[in-house]
A = this chain, B = another copy of it.
Amino acid sequence: MAKAPNAARRSESSRRAILTATQELCGENGYRRVTVEAIAARAGVSKKTIYRWWPSKGAVVLEILDEAASITADPPDTGDLAADLHTQLTEVIGLLAPSHTSPAAGLIAEALQDPDLGRELRERVIEPRIAKFRERLRRAQQQGQLSPDADLDVALDLLYGPLYHRLAFHLGMPDPDYLDTLIAHALRSLTPPDSTN
């Protein structure tokens, strides 16, 4: 505790400048080519200030995603499950594309090879959002739109999986029609065969 920098005296303007510069540089050059030096230069900030508050470039980008995620509303619940899923997944697709300039895609790539960063990413950004998504699915399940014994983890894998499959191999994110097809298949497999839906 005693070693932590004194957050009370932290300069909010520097923090903002760093986050903004990082986002801009990701957009311009792609996550991979962003360097801490360039962030510092663009933000008009010393490298020390970046390293004082974040352990690495990845942590800065993580905070960007974290902020973005905080602002984002909860998963929609209009009553139409398929439509809500479409809305939700479209938003995720928007975060991941285009993969070579998306901070999110860059961070996922780095986190793949950095367990610490991966854990941070999962705990601070992914799981909270997934939890809400799962709640949405649970509500649907309680309303009989999903099989009562459906495994919601399976649902998450079937719905999110294709996005990351395609991301991994630059296959291009699903277009709206294809996304609907994917959702339809996922839902069909999670719905009782004799359902009257």
How many Å from the CB of A194 to the closest CB on chain B?
A: 9
Residues of B within 8 Å of A16, CB to CB, are none
Residues of B within 8 Å of A119, CB to CB, are 170
Interface centre among A106, A153, A189 (most CB of B within 10 A): A189
Q: Is A32 an interface residue (CB 8 A)?
A: yes
Given A105-B112, A182-B154, are A167 and B169 also a contact pair (CB < 8 Å)? no
Q: CA of A99 to CA of B113 in the docked complex: distance in angstroms?
A: 7
Q: CA of A153 to CA of B138 in the docked complex: distance in angstroms?
A: 28
Q: Are A185 and B154 in contact (CB under 8 A)?
A: yes
Q: CA of A171 to CA of B115 in the docked complex: distance in angstroms?
A: 11
The 8 A CB mask of A103-127 against B (1 = contact, 0 = none) is 0011011111111001101100010
Q: Which of A141-187 contact B (CB under 8 A)?
A: 151, 153-154, 156-158, 160-171, 174, 178, 181-182, 185-186
- How many copies of this protein are present in the complex? 4
How many Å from the CB of A154 to the closest CB on chain B?
A: 6
Q: Is A190 an interface residue (CB 8 A)?
A: yes
Give 7 A-B contacts (CB < 8 Å), ordered by A residue: A115-B170, A156-B165, A157-B162, A158-B186, A161-B162, A161-B165, A188-B188
Q: Is A100 an interface residue (CB 8 A)?
A: yes
Other-chain residue from B121, B160, B185 in contact with A190 (beta carbon distance below 8 A): B185
Other-chain residue from B31, B115, B162, B171 in contact with A158 (beta carbon distance below 8 A): B162
Q: Is A30 an interface residue (CB 8 A)?
A: yes
Residues of B within 8 Å of A167, CB to CB, are 112, 164, 168
